[in-house]
Structure 1
Amino acid sequence: MNLNPSKWPSWLLMSAILLSLAAVISIIPIRYIVELRMIFSIAMGIALGVYISAEYFLQATVLHILIVTTTVCTSVFVVFTHLPSASSTKVLPWVFALLVALFPVMYLLEGQVRVKTILADSGVGDLGEEDSKLTALLAVEGARTSLLGLYVAIFMLIALEIKYELASLMREKFNEKGGGGIRHSQSGQSSDSGSSFPKMRFMQQRRASTVPAFTIKRMAAEGAWMPAVGNVATIMCFAICLILNVNLTGGSNRAIFLLAPILLLLNQDSDFVAGFGDKQRYFPVTIVISGYLILTSVYSIWEEIWQGNVGWGMQVGGPNWLFAVKNLALLILTFPSHILFNQFVWT
């Protein structure tokens, strides 16, 4: 095997993958030792941060520390959310807040550092002023797109981890509250099993319908930071995906049907989505699709009749005026369908 020294960042990625596999199959006993869990999460974050910095942000040297800090915070958050310690529940919300705060700082610094680096480069200095500005803008656009993609992956990972932990908690509560009673009824009523099966099935359905609300109430009483953090991560991930959709596809309408299901990761909490339950889990998807299609339609009409610096190209009886009136009327005719469908999904 040829070991190319110039490919050393790839070895960091391979090391991170091997560390993860070793932790999953318990070669590294992070499940039982808190200190080892902390060392593992920091090592994972440093390896991934250095790999990302060397592969995608090599020219932005100032941002390397911030990128490594971001990946370390992400690794610590995911590891200690999955395997919490005695004090992790108090620290993890602040770790997530640091992650969110680093995002605008890195986004703004990326543009400033990249422009200064490119303009100071001797190869670009020989070009004309317009060519230098264009090269700098293209480089900043590409680097910021990569940064947005990195944060999409981070927020998606956090939202998935929290959703998984909440689902596991609900399953445990259901087993504690419903499983024992069902097993007891099965052992105590074996003589009249024919009449007890419908009753048992009904009780299972009743317990299954009440467990999510019970779990969320209990979590809210104990300090429900996980549902709130999961909702913030989900909304941030969805919002950044919309920005990427505008930058990469020009705001394609078809993309919303692939991006809206991200909102299925929303959770009921006591602060942001208090009335949101398992029954309405598809409502955010449909309402966002309806709103996005309506807003993009209005923007398309506005873009068609706006003539740049000249102003509005509308004259009563003119083609632009007829275009605007016709399409706005057709758009308004779709409102009852949107309203009825979203009401149906909510109920």
Structure 2
Amino acid sequence: MSSGSASRHGRLLISPSLSTPTFSTRSPSPSPALQHHHHHHERRNSTSSPKPLVPFPSSSSASAAYRPRSSTGGAAAPAPSAAFAHNARLAAALVPAAAFLLDLGGLPVFAVLAVGLAAAYLLDALQLRQGAFFTVWAALLAADVAFFFSASLSSAAAVSLPLTILALLLCAETSFLIGIWASLQFRWIQLENPTIVAALERLLFACVPIAAPALFTWALVSAVGMASASYYFAAFCMLFYWLFSIPRPSSFNNRKLDASVQDCDGILGPLESCVHSLYLLFVPVLFHAASHHATLFTSWGSVCELLLLFFIPFLFQLYASTRGALWWITRDARTMDQIRIVNGLVALVVVVLCLEVRVVFYSFGRYIHAPPPLNYLLVTVTMLGGALGLAAHAAGKVGDAASSAAFTVLAVLVSGAGAVVIGFPVMVLPLPMISGYYVARFFTKKSLSSYFTFVAIASLMVLWFVVHNYWDLNIWLAGMPLKSFTKYVVAAVIMAMAVPGLALLPTKLRFLLELGLIGHTLLLCYIENRLFNYASMYYFGFEEDILYPSYMVLITTFLGLALVRRLYADQRIGPKATWILTCLYSSKLSMLFMTSRSVIWVSAVLLLAVTPPLLLYRDNSKGAARMKAWQAYFHASVIAFSAWLCRETIFEALQWWNGRPPPDGLLLGSYILLTGVACIPIVILHFPHVQVVD
């Protein structure tokens, strides 16, 4: 349809096809005469120059005024099913950020937002879409004003005014990004302003990786302290770099109107991608230098911390370049591969040497039995040789006979050197070397028998190490004797070593891998809960506080979630095992914020009750409701029961929030609120038809 025809009929043409629905940009219910003329004009154009259909994304907050009507019966035709494609990754960044801002702002901000969003919902229900849109922005603006005058930031301004101003600017930017994300949920904006929504999407992807790491680090430091803030910040930078800086297809790049603003295959352009790379590499280092300027170069350990904060994100960025993260440097695959190999080799050597100084000799020097300078040589051979061998295999450089033989020799050498370092008896020194041979044979030949032979020999080595170093110590650790605690640790290590072999079993034996992963995760949760919440060691009549590092909880959680996602993507575990493992790993994060010793199990039960609508039914066929009514009632009752089991955790959270024990009415209301919020996924995802008002 020509532009003149579009302006004459007040319609935005999507496709010149008779069966394609059209969407009004002015009137919600055009007259039948105009529709008849419009379809006649479409038929005439479709016979001369047919064009492909380009669907518009829809949104859950779309107005009913944009449901297309047929020209004959006037019944509502089905709206396009595609939504804004990146809601999930934006929710992962902005929803926790919004929750943290609400916690900072307190009751005034919560009250302003509650009133404003309720008014916006009412206007949207009355099909006053522009009013709902401006009400959302007015609510965010009013919440910002209330936030700026909150008591917490007013008291912080007395300590450091420049830092408070930066914090306010960060909070204002985050609120602005939340408003942009909310604006993209209005489908009428997508229809009437296609170039604007493409620019807003690009703005979100450009700004979220800058603002979210700082806000997440702020929240985590408020909970666990400032000691390792630089590493938290670097970890969040890598996380959001992966989510937003790797090229993603735009939700709006199929429209011809967007061709003028698309300068690359993805959402971001070269400038934004370059800024994200520089931010990832240098800002964590600068943050560490600013917060530790007094002790920056006082020891080799401090220097190694600076190098680690630069080269670990650098290694991560080189890995992300395999997914196109550095497309703005060059698009030639061979050149990029050379860049990865050369820079990765240098970065890997630096990281390994710094880890030796900062971690191995600093924290585990008591377990190194080789005398100096032989200990430095053997530790370097073990760590650097193992890292180079794994990197070569991961890069696909181990394939022919010569490289396989070199890889096998390196594995045997690394295993022998590591055994000498930890003081393994010389008489049985061939045993670890044999295990190195079998693990190399597994990597080169993909032999399952070789791998399980390696697991058996390595298990004997782990048992020897534990018995030799810990078995005779009269120490209470994590609320139990050390001898009992080491049994759980040994079992967890052996199960972890067995998982890669179980992953290669045939599909019929997939349940063994699922059982092994679930058992290992339960054991890991138990061990970390004991270490984190029973943080004291008793020996010889004395007590000493031992803090299990918070970053270890984060590392094991995110590594576990990444492993579960990868195994599910490779179809090695089923949806039920994925659901259970995701809930168990996610529940470990609750230990960072709640002091209760049972919070991890309570959180796991609540997540297992809430998440089935999100994880268990997502593979079912598309339909009006994937979950039957009786299943929904059953899940709702399970959610209510699980929330009741969490009553003590709710009580502790309310007591921490108010500073005093909450009254019974507040406790009951919080229980009802938690139950209702937990049931939202059931209604939104599986019964969307009950929300439609004709």
TM-score tier (shorter) = 0.3 to 0.5
Q: Which has the higher contact order (CA 8 A, sep 6+)?
A: 1
When Rg is computed on C-alpha atoms for both structures, the one with the higher figure is 2
Greater fraction helix? 1
